Amino acid sequence: MTLSVEIVPLLADNYGYLLVDGRTGTTAFVDPAEAAPVVARVRARGGRLDWILLTHHHGDHVAGTAELVAAFGAKVAGAAADAHRLPPLDRALAEDDRFELGAASARVLATPGHTTGHVSYLFEESGDLFCGDTLFVMGCGRLIEGDAEAMWRSLAKLAALPPATRVWCGHEYTLANARFALSLDPENEALRARAVEVERLRMAGRPTVPSTIGEERATNPFLRAGEPAIRARMGTVGASAVEAFAAVRRAKDRFRG
């Protein structure tokens, strides 16, 4: 394995990720919502933390950064566009930049929509995507700053990645997302099977990440907003792809399942 990924649950429902390049031991942490559990995990692994990778500026993705920098001397990478509201950056990144983690390498994808400066990290060799609050398992982030068109373009960019790409997202929102997805797409057999599977995982106290791009294309109602069955239910037959997506996003904002 060229890149190992460990899930570190943070706060109530956040996920941070500890990445280790197996060839050099170079270590990074994605989205430290808080410091203490990350410090403990890094110490347990020998105390090496070279980099912190940030997807966006929200507190539940960056709040542990300063303490990790102080504890381990880690450097910080994040979106150049948000340098003014992220913790101080040692590397400011933009679309298509490469970020080297030892011998592993990530391509930076601009994925605005949840926030205007949101970025995702794609380790192409191992097929690992860290997408913060853009794409969730069977869901997507709220449009806090971006508009529907920006988010739709970001989701389309992620959906076009190879189907085996693992999706490591920023939150465990999967059960609520599955209930909403089933309300729009009840005849979707892949979705029904996936909903049973994630229920089983959560009952056992296990995370539902990673998903894959292929699973998301088959089950995620935001990626599937243009499917005839969902258009019929949402009243968006004949509407543009962006409008069909925006209608699903509005329905989710109202959904009380």
Task: Give catalytic residue positions.
Answer: 56, 58, 60-61, 114, 133, 171
**Full 3-state SS string of 130-180:** EEECCEECCEECCCCCCCHHHHHHHHHHHHCCCCCCEEEECECCHHHHHHH
Question: In whole angstroms, what is the distance from residue 214 CA to residue 99 CA?
Answer: 25
Give the contact letters, 8-47, x = binds to Zn ion (CB under 5 A), - = no: ----------------------------------------
Should residue 133 be labelled a site residue for Zn ion when binding is judged by CB under 5 A?
A: yes
Q: Would you say 17 or 72 has its CB closer to Zn ion?
A: 17
Nearest-angstrom CA–CA distance, 254 and 244: 16
Q: Which residues contact Fe ion (rule: CB under 5 A)?
A: 60, 133, 170
Q: How far is the CB of 119 from Zn ion (least distance, A)?
A: 12
**Among residues 28, 49, 58, 245, which is the contact residue for Zn ion, using CB under 5 A?**
58
Q: Which is nearer to Fe ion, 146 or 170 (CB)?
A: 170
Q: How does 108-144 read in b/e, with b if 16+ C-beta sit within 10 Å?
A: bbbbbbbbbbbbbbbbeebbbbbbbbbbbbbbbbebe
Quick check: 233 binds Zn ion (CB under 5 A)? no
> Of Fe ion, Zn ion, none, which one sits near residue 145, judging by CB under 5 to 8 A according to partner kind?
none
Residues that bind Zn ion (CB under 5 A): 58, 133
